[in-house]
Structure 1
Amino acid sequence: MKALSFIAGALISAQAIAGPEVDKEFNSMDADQNGKVSAAEHAAGAKRMFEHMDANHDGKVGAAEMTAAHKAITGQATKKSDMPAADKIKAVDSDGDGVLTAEEHAKASASMFAKMDTDKDGFLSKQEMAAGHAAMMKKQ
């Protein structure tokens, strides 16, 4: 589960997920506004997040870029209880080079979606997303 703690809202802390922040993230992913997030909507949201974090547009996200993007994405500064960016990257960095590629991010995002979809209906409810992020974003 640690390996999935970063993706698709990875920058949202457990504290931010409770309340308006989960609404904001959920609504931004729910493109058709049907009250649920499909795997495709989740993947598109994760892609947008990666592109936002990749400040220098080199196709890779380092810990400094991830940390810098945190406040812009979440509206909050990082907290001591948040997992450090380097640890988030390490958890899903399949080639061990210390940076996150778009492919690594997308693969981990798909795995995270599958874990959060607890009723296995192919969609995330707001409750599933909030519970999944809260559980996965605790500092390891």
Structure 2
Amino acid sequence: MQGKSQSQILKHFLAASAAFLVAGGAFAQTAATAPAPAPGQGGAMHHHMEHGGGMWMKSVDTDGDGMISKAEADALFNRIDTNHDGKLDKNEMAAYRKTMMEQRRAEMQKEFEAKFKAADKNGDGALTKDEVKAGMPRLAQRFDQLDANHDGKLTLDEIKAGMQKMHEERMQRMPRGPAAPSAPSSSGG
């Protein structure tokens, strides 16, 4: 009986550990690869990471009590364990992270488009500088940079293209890994 109890404890520990590993991997992956949130969006990823993964917690805490129960951890484990072998391999973890990132990107896109639509007071599908200042003030800082055709209006396409370009430029400036060791000096001896 004690052996069975220990194996159950181990199984639950592994399930909880896997849940936290997935969450940590998703946060790191998202922070490293997700395009920067559009200005005016409130920095959702920064907010998400600052508050201990609150969004992730809410997605796992299905009963909304602010805690993750064993049943909720098991349910997460079972969602990730797509081949139902009771183990999580790196392919299952990667697939889960990818799915979660795609869902979050879609949510962020939907939220941004709703803010854009709300700011578009005349409903013409483009934002003037005044509409941006009133409805999306953080975006106003980059208005001229994003207005690719210099017509005094921003379309969703201009904003998306401009933000993607800024993200790519930022990624190019980031270090790519450990610095190469310097060659030993050849001093005669």
The TM tier, using the shorter chain, reads 0.3 to 0.5
User: Bigger radius of gyration, 1 or 2?
Assistant: 2
Q: TM-score, normalised by structure 2?
A: 0.29
